[in-house]
Amino acid sequence: MMDLFPLFSAATTGGTAGAGLDYWIVAFSAITVIVTIWMGFRSAKTSKTAGDFFVAGRSVSVGWNASAISGEYLSAASFMGIAGMVMSSGYDALWYPVCYACGYLFLLLFIAGPLRRFGAYTIPDFAEGRFDSPLFRKIAVCFVLFIGFFYTMPQMKGAGTTLAYIFPGLPYWAGVVVVGAVITVNVALGGMKGITLVQAFQYWAKMFAISVPIFVLMAFYGHYGKQLSLNATAPQAAVQTIEGRKPLPEKAPNDATWISPFGRLTTKAAAAAGLSPEEQKPYSLLYTYSLIVAIVCGTAGLPHILVRFYTNPDGVAAKKTTMWVMILIGVFYVFPPVFGALGRNLLPELYLAAGAKGTDKVVLELPRLLNERVPGLGSILSGVTCAGAFAAFMSTFSGLLVSMTGALAHDVYGRMLRPKSTAEQRMRAFKVAAVVIGAVAIVLGTRVEQFEINFMVGQAFAIAAASYFPLLFMSAWWRGMTMKGAATGMLTGGLLALLGISLTSFSDMKWIDLAEFWKANPLLRILCEQPAIWTVPLAITLMIVVSKLTRKEIPADIRMKMLVLHAPEQLGLKQEYIQEHQHGH
Amino acid sequence: MRSSPTSEPDALHSEAFLHRLMARQLKLSISCAATFLVALLALPLVNYFFPEVMAKRLFGFTLTWLVLGVLFFPYVWVISWIFIKRSMALESEEVASIRGKQQ
């Protein structure tokens, strides 16, 4: 092959994995980081009031907002994690991208319009307004932080993995600290108005970064279908030598379990219990359903995504935005599994490594193989995917940080601690809160190297599914809800999900020893690891039962509240509601 | 243009209006959700009971991989597009009916 880039070939012909510093990759990543920070600082100058910081002055158009929501939503899990998990677990991992995208349908059908019409900055605002209860706000705020921290951990793993790939030899934790610190400063200075622009730009950066390298790779190594066709569905030995791919190491799942449903991911607990493959299947089905419930319902309960709906001018715009988000992210989600399928055939050595060196980095490393065919090209495309990864974890981490910081500054400080604080004091509180939360997220991030990025995000969704989703869904559509009912359901469902997930994570981290218990009780292991299938119905049931018991406490102006949630804006009910409310207090 | 808060009882604030508004919107949402859920929840069952059929190859993909990894996305777009269109039509009908009664 012709050497396209002779200047850089010296640095890039050193082979694929384990080579030294690659300047193309460093350059692309540095540009992404600098542009992101520059945009944040530039827009910091134009956002002055506290309202600007929280919801961007509510003046964002459908196109911008849809790109921004997609940009924020496509996290390290989508960009790196799905590909890594498809490579490590095969078919079962496909449920993640599909449900990540389809969860938006639930958001669109049941929540986006009413939530925007009600008009509030955050979910705790909604919780308080819907039930006229400042106490409920305090309860609701907790989950912004619970879900947020669970969601930031995988972003931090993405950061650590990417930096360890770009700078071979750099320890995982150092990457986490550097990226975490940079974003924290950026958020503390820029606020959300900056983030809207940055997020929208980053969606398109990620889309470019995931699609272009995969098309080039497919042009050289064969298309998606061909890559899958190399994996036989008939059971056979683990080590295979097939033309068009490298031999699989012992540790890799064999073809049949990889390409067929009910593979490694969903049968893990039952396999550990020593059940036969036939006996494992029902457990596997249960795991699959629980995963589906967690992600579809969880999407509709993510605090950092929901806060964006308030930046739409009205309920119709909120619905239109949601539809565009589904299209933007749906197109994106076709690509990461292709990386997983190609990675299995071309980069099987990743199966041998763990943590930051494992399959989670397939998106970063795979394009580099092209250096064998066209020296230089592989490095450039690997630089592109690294830039995309930066865009992914930076944008999601910023979004989470804004909403967690908003919860602390706006809810805890502005409403609970110092209700009479001035706008200036609140701005300062916002900055302090950003630094505190950023620091906690960094510390947590350094602890989770062993977990798959995508798996951790799935856990955050499961907590959202059992807490915010029932709250939002039931509050928007059932007027019989009382504050006590909502709080009981949300707390019980959410905390049980949190407990189950923490138990399995802590035992996997060897902080507590439950391995024998899980072996004896594979069913309990699945119900703890993927709790949505029982926590979501439990939360909704509790909401109904407790609300019926406390029916006297239904807010007096419930009809008006429901009208505000559901009637089109043209009827002017919102202004009326605000006036009445001001008289009432 | 909009109703005056003092004129009670009017069509806008009536129980009948709220009930119809919510019932029609909820019905639309539920029927769209059902269309989606039937396909989503049926796929694991089909995989479970008909593994050979779902393992058939199409352009190199297994049938189930093609459905889940590619075809599901456009399916959901169609549902959401239909929902948006109907939901907007429904809303403008409600606005028109209220304004009609006020004149």
Span A151-176, pLDDT tens digits: 999 999 999 999 988 888 889 999 99
pLDDT for residue A13: 38
Candidate from A98, A579, A580 with C-beta closest to B72:
A98
Residue type present at position A48 = K
CA distances from A269 to A496, A529, A551 (A): 20, 9, 43
Q: Any idea which of A188-192, A214-218, A523-527, B64-68 has the lowest mean pLDDT?
A: A188-192
pLDDT for residue A94: 93
pLDDT for residue A331: 93
More confident residue, A4 or B80: B80
pLDDT for residue A583: 58
Beta bridge mates, A293? none
Span B52-90, pLDDT tens digits: 888 888 888 888 999 999 999 999 999 999 999 998 898
**Percentage of chain A surpassing pLDDT 70?**
88
A440-A443-A446 Cα angle (round to 5): 145
- The dihedrals phi and psi of B57, each to the nearest 5 degrees, come to -95, 140
Please give the Cα distance from A146 to A152 (Å, whole number): 10
Nearest-neighbour CA in chain A from B31: distance (Å): 10
pLDDT for residue A173: 92
Among A residues 89-128, those touching chain B with beta carbons less than 8 Å apart:
91, 94-95, 97-99, 101-102, 104-106, 108-110, 113
Nearest-neighbour CA in chain B from A158: distance (Å): 23
Contact A292, B42 (CB under 8 A): no
CATH number of A6-290+303-438: 1.20.1730.10
| Average pLDDT taken over every residue of chain A | 83
More confident residue, A428 or A20: A428
Q: Helices A172-221 and A336-346: crossing angle, nearest 10°?
A: 80
Residue contact B70–A109, C-beta within 8 A: no
- Domain residue spans of chain A: 6-290+303-438
Residue of A197, A177, A199, A159 whose CA lies nearest to A77 = A159
Residue contact B57–A229, C-beta within 8 A: yes
pLDDT for residue A534: 96
Which residue of chain A is at minimal alpha-carbon distance from B11?
A571
CB of A288 within 8 Å of any CB in chain B?
yes
Residue of A301, A322, A302, A323 whose CA lies nearest to A311 = A322
pLDDT for residue A46: 61
Residue of A197, A239, A173, A235 whose CA lies nearest to A442 = A173
Q: Which two tokens stand for residue A344?
A: 């299995």
Please give the Cα distance from A58 to A580 (Å, whole number): 23
Nearest-neighbour CA in chain A from B98: distance (Å): 8
Among A residues 334-373, those touching chain B with beta carbons less than 8 Å apart:
334, 337
Span A328-379, pLDDT tens digits: 999 999 999 999 999 998 888 888 888 788 888 999 999 998 888 888 888 8
Does pLDDT of B3 surpass 70? no
> Of A415-419, B11-15, B16-20, B45-49, which has the strongest mean pLDDT?
B45-49
Candidate from B55, B80, B83 with C-beta closest to A233:
B55
Which residue of chain B is at minimal alpha-carbon distance from A580?
B5
Does pLDDT of A280 surpass 90? no
Q: Any idea which of A43-47, A70-74, A326-330, A337-341 has the lowest mean pLDDT?
A: A43-47
- The dihedrals phi and psi of B58, each to the nearest 5 degrees, come to -140, 115
Nearest-neighbour CA in chain B from A151: distance (Å): 24
Q: Any idea which of A44-53, A399-408, A431-440 has the lowest mean pLDDT?
A: A44-53
Largest CA distance in chain A: 80
Does pLDDT of A64 surpass 80? yes
Residue contact A571–B98, C-beta within 8 A: yes
Q: Which residue has the tokens 């396999």?
A: A271
B49-B50-B51 Cα angle (round to 5): 105
pLDDT for residue A274: 83
Q: Best mutation site among A571, A574, A577 for testing chain B: the one with the most B CBs within 10 Å?
A: A571
Does pLDDT of A243 surpass 80? no
pLDDT for residue A385: 92
Confidence of residue A181 (pLDDT cuts 50, 70, 90): very high
